[in-house]
Amino acid sequence: MDVRRRSILGTSLAVVAAMGLSACGGGGDDSASSKTVRVTLANHVWTENIKQALPEFEKQTGLKVEITQLGEDQLSDQYNVKLNAGSSDIDVMMYRPLQEGKLFAKNKYLADLSDEVKSNKDWDVSDFQAGPVDATSYEGKAVGVPIITEQEVLYYRKDLLGKAGLTAPPKTLDELKAAAAKIKAADPSVAGFVARTGKSPAVTQFSSFLYSFGGDFVDSSGKAAVNSEQAKQAYAYYGGLLKDHGPANVSTDMSWPEAMAIFTQGKAAFYTEANSLYKNATDPAKSKVSETVGFAPFPAGPAGSKPYNIPSWALGINDNSENQSNAWKFVEWATSKEQTLAQQKSGVPGARTSVWANPEGTATYPKDLVEAIAASTKDGVGHDRPLVNKVAQAREIVGQPIVDAIAGKDAAAAADTANEAFQKFLDDEAK
């Protein structure tokens, strides 16, 4: 890693964590700079946990850690300003690999960590799941380390399955459709299936259907592929499932809170969603059906069960940091087996295989959810949206056929229109 020695560009806008953490020395004081690691993190349970453990790291290393903790929008704003200006006053940065990772890497905001991740055999890069590792890489180089993961699983109502004479949750998408139809026919007030329907929010959860039909957002040559035969089938299936077996008069603007509410209020039998949200369904204070919720692997389509397995957050190092060596010491510690286990025990799912294999790492999770996650990580795909620079714009384009299919329009025609627009978008980004 190129450890740069340059003067500090101003003082940090950091909010110093209240536990005796010293602020960075000013001016060109290299000794002060090298002993203080400036870490910018999002508001998240992971962040609160790591702050509690910081004294251990400081004692081990003799370093001081200065924390800037921000909401997601504030975080993005600060990165846009500081990284674009080439500022050196961020050392470690918590970022969203699938939302801004490609843009950050392309703009050379993220340091190449390829040598670092291979150097410590005890830290063991091979212990990280393949999907999240792929998502934190750029052009074959490691530019981040995954810290929080998500997989798509099937939430279901055990009691409704029993009433319908079903002895097990559906293992295939064909079985899911049949079970959803049977349950709704028996009681029209209960939807057979619910999921996100909004044009942009639905894209991530639709992605597992797309992969399981054998499609993807782009093909192997990087061309738009949302009008492939497999993609058209996936759009038609997802839209049809919600149109025919979803909630009555289903809207096309639901994100996860609205879809989750329908499920937890007892108004749906099946729900495909990120596993990270599971406590909304199992907490009696939030869910009327907490005692009857079950979890199962994402049902297999023609190409098998191919849910996403993604890192929702990762740690990277600012390529303009003057303190990259000590920044890596923090990343290495924060993503160690010990810290990942501690985080996972508190309910934050990590990316380490060994932690998922450790009974301590899964003790707080429902047994069937652990089994569903294990199936997802085995063949999971490392992205749940197009891997582009302008992710929000891309989601609007590829999400339109979802909305059209739910509304009963021609899914194939919508996919053709979206593909033309998406290819133009890709061409413009490549300029």
User: Per-residue DSSP letters for 306-372?
Assistant: --BEEEEEEEEEBTT-S-HHHHHHHHHHHTSHHHHHHHHHTT---SBHHHHHSHHHHTTS-HHHHHH
Architecture category of domain 36-150+310-377 in CATH: 3-Layer(aba) Sandwich (3.40)
Q: Which pLDDT value is given to residue 16?
A: 37
Rounded CA separation 111/52 (Å): 27
pLDDT tens for each residue of 119-145: 999 999 999 999 999 999 999 999 999
Dihedral pair phi/psi, residue 312, rounded to 5°:
-75, -25
**Average pLDDT in the 149-155 region?**
96
| Percent of the chain's residues with pLDDT above 90 | 89
Question: Is 9's pLDDT higher than 90?
Answer: no
pLDDT tens for each residue of 184-216: 999 999 999 999 999 999 999 999 999 999 999
The type of residue at 230 is Q
* Coil, helix or strand at residue 201: helix
Rounded CA separation 52/171 (Å): 41
Q: Which pLDDT value is given to residue 327?
A: 97
Tell which wins on pLDDT, 19 or 303.
303
Q: Which pLDDT value is given to residue 118?
A: 94
Rounded CA separation 230/238 (Å): 12
Report the top-level CATH class of 151-309+384-430.
alpha beta
Question: Is 402's pLDDT higher than 80?
Answer: yes
Question: Is 146's pLDDT higher than 50?
Answer: yes
pLDDT tens for each residue of 62-99: 999 999 999 999 999 999 999 999 999 999 999 999 99
Beta bridge partners of 313: 148
**Average pLDDT in the 286-308 region?**
97
Where, residue-wise, is CATH 3.40.190.10 in the chain? 36-150+310-377, 151-309+384-430
Q: Which pLDDT value is given to residue 383?
A: 95
Bridge pairing between strands 191-194 and 92-95: unpaired
| Percent of the chain's residues with pLDDT above 70 | 92
- The three-point CA angle 115-378-168 to 5° equals 160
Q: Which pLDDT value is given to residue 33?
A: 53
Average pLDDT, the chain: 91
